[in-house]
């Protein structure tokens, strides 16, 4: 071992991470490039089809969705309704459920920071960016979720927010690189994936996702960090506007996701084929997610579902009968000045305020202030009615 190698560095060559790209010699490259271009076109078309006033509310729902499915992949099931309650500081009295709510809130806080420009896609590919994602997430976790148990020795170790691991780890059959080698591999990772053109970056999305998991830089939290990293990449490369994300698709195909990741872990001559298979899977999952959300947000279908919900709420005595008129006006216009509500309803100002207040109380509408225009919201509690299939059923 060389004297200048960090302590705990077994001297692994960074070439162990190869192949990092599906180059011109890869036989299925053209087919995968077609998928990447298809994804870019669908993502751009979906984002442009949304009224600008709808984007912030949808992005907020996607954060809850991404959080729920990303945590579900890790075996933590916190329903979006409970996540929404956590965002309002309404926590369960059950300690375990409360810890999971805090975990969900931490995930959403980090993703919102990314969505609002706190970390670009290229910065997310650097060691500093990855450590910052990890630090922001783990510093918000309750103490109990900052500990992991070594499966072999049963020793409990505390995860330090933003710190690279100091111990060897094994994930399934994969033994990750030595702790001291991590900075060298992260430097190579940033060089490889942070300097690609847009077309190549699209094709490299999956490869970067796998290779950071292969490096396994942190003692725990690598899965969430990798998915947040990929979210940041797609936000930049695909200009998603944060209105869709990949975690739901990965969770719905979790067996294939984990199997294909494991295939890429194995050192063997056809590793290029394994990376190609994972890339194909990853791109198709992304395309399916865009198609799925676009289908749920088809204007005519969305309008019918929302107005049907309003009618049901009226019949149950939870909404005034003319509330649907406000919702329909906002669906048509994108947003509604508060002063226009009485005109829409053809009632007095006091009655109009009562209808608006009832809609705000249900979470169906949102506003930036008492005099700001009204916009449609997408609260998780109404997702089953407005966007069926987005989340699993949740009975109380």
Of 3-17, 84-98, 99-113, least confident by mean pLDDT is: 3-17
Global pTM reads 0.92
Task: Write down the pLDDT at residue 98.
Answer: 96
What is the pLDDT confidence band of residue 268, given thresholds at 50, 70 and 90?
A: low
Contacts (Cβ under 8 Å, ≥6 apart) of 60: 377, 378
Task: Please state, in angstroms and rounded to a whole number, the distance separating the CA atoms of residues 48 and 51.
Answer: 8
Query: What mean pLDDT is predicted for residues 309-338?
Result: 94
Show Cβ contacts of residue 176 under 8 Å, excluding neighbours closer than 6 positions. 168, 169, 170, 214, 215, 216
Q: What is the pLDDT of residue 24?
A: 87
Tell me whether strands 365-367 and 174-175 are parallel, antiparallel or unpaired: unpaired
**pLDDT tier at 106, thresholds 50, 70, 90:** very high
Cα separation values, 284 from 175, 190, 255, Å = 29, 25, 15
Query: Does position 279 have pLDDT exceeding 60, yes or no?
Result: yes
Closest CA to 199 of 22, 62, 18, 367: 22
Q: Is the pLDDT of residue 6 over 50?
A: no
CATH 1.10.10.10 positions along the chain are: 299-386
Residue 347 backbone class (left: φ over 0; alpha: ψ -120 to 50; beta: rest): beta
- Which part of the chain has CATH 1.10.3290.10? 14-296
pLDDT of residue 394 exceeding 60: no
**For residue 3, is pLDDT > 60?**
no
The span from the CA of 82 to the CA of 91, in Å, is: 8
Q: In the predicted model, is pLDDT for residue 9 greater than 50?
A: yes
What was the pLDDT predicted at 5?
46
Helix (H, G, I), strand (E, B) or coil at 336: strand
Rounded Cα–Cα distance for residues 166 and 196 (Å): 31
Answer whether 225's CB lies under 8 Å from 211's CB: no
Q: What phi and psi, each to the nearest 5 degrees, are found at residue 367?
A: -150, 150
Instruction: Tell me what pLDDT residue 199 has.
Output: 78
Quickly name the fold that domain 14-296 has: Fic-like fold (1.10.3290)
Name, in order, each residue with C-beta under 8 angstroms of 204's C-beta and a sequence gap of 6 or more. 20, 21, 193, 196
Mean pLDDT of 206-220: 96
Specify whether the backbone of 291 is left (phi greater than 0), alpha (psi in -120 to 50) or beta. Answer: alpha
> pLDDT tens across 147-196, in order?
998 877 888 999 999 999 999 988 888 889 999 999 999 999 999 998 88
Under DSSP, the state recorded for 122 is: T
Segment 24-28 shows an average pLDDT of 90
Full DSSP string of 285-329: HHHHHHHHHHHHT-HHHHHHHHHHHHHHHHHTTSS-TTHHHHHHH
| Three-class secondary structure of residue 157 per DSSP | strand
Q: What is the pLDDT of residues 226-255, one digit of tens each?
A: 999 999 999 999 999 999 999 999 999 999
pLDDT at 377: 93
Indicate the pLDDT class of residue 146, thresholds 50, 70 and 90: very high
Architecture of domain 299-386: Orthogonal Bundle (1.10)
For residue 1, pLDDT beyond 50: no
The mean pLDDT of 277-300, rounded to a whole number, is 95
Among the ranges given (29-43, 101-115, 259-273, 340-354), the one the predictor scored with the smallest mean pLDDT: 259-273
Pull the structure tokens for residue 271.
């590793």
């Amino acid at each position: 071992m060389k004297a200048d190698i960090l302590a705990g560095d077994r001297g692994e060559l960074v070439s162990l991470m190869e192949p990092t790209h599906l180059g011109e010699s890869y036989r299925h490259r053209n087919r995968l490039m077609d998928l990447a271009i298809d994804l870019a076109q669908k993502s751009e078309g979906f984002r442009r089809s949304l009224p600008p006033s709808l984007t912030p509310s949808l992005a907020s729902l996607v954060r809850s969705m991404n959080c729920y499915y990303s945590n579900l992949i890790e075996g933590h099931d916190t329903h979006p309704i409970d996540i929404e309650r956590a965002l309002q500081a309404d926590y369960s009295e059950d300690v375990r459920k409360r810890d999971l709510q805090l975990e969900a809130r931490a995930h959403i806080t980090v993703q919102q920071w990314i969505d609002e420009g706190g970390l670009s896609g290229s910065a997310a590919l650097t060691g500093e960016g990855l450590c910052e994602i990890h630090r922001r997430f783990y510093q918000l976790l309750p103490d109990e979720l900052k500990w992991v148990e070594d499966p072999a020795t049963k020793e409990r170790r505390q995860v330090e927010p933003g710190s690279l691991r100091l111990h060897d780890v094994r994930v399934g059959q994969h033994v990750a690189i030595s702790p001291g080698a991590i900075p060298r591999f992260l430097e190579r990772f940033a060089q490889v994936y942070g300097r690609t053109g847009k077309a190549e970056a699209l094709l490299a999305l999956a490869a970067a996702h796998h290779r950071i998991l292969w490096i396994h830089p942190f003692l725990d939290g690598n899965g969430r960090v990798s998915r947040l990293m990929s979210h940041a990449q797609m936000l930049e490369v695909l200009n998603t506007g944060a209105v869709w994300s990949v975690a739901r698709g990965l969770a719905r195909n979790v067996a294939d996701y984990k199997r294909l990741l494991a295939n890429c872990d194995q050192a063997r001559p056809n590793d290029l084929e394994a990376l190609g298979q994972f890339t194909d899977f990853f791109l198709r999952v992304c395309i399916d997610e865009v198609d799925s959300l676009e289908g749920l947000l088809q204007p005519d279908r969305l309008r019918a579902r929302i107005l049907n919900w309003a009618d049901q709420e009226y019949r149950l005595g939870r909404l005034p009968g003319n509330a649907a008129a406000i919702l329909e006006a906002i669906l048509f216009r994108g947003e509604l000045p508060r002063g226009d509500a009485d005109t829409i309803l053809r009632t007095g100002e006091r009655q109009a305020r009562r209808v608006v207040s009832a809609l705000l109380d249900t979470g169906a509408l949102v506003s930036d202030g008492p005099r700001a225009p009204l916009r449609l919201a997408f609260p998780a509690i109404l997702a089953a009615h407005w966007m069926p299939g987005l989340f699993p059923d949740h009975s109380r």
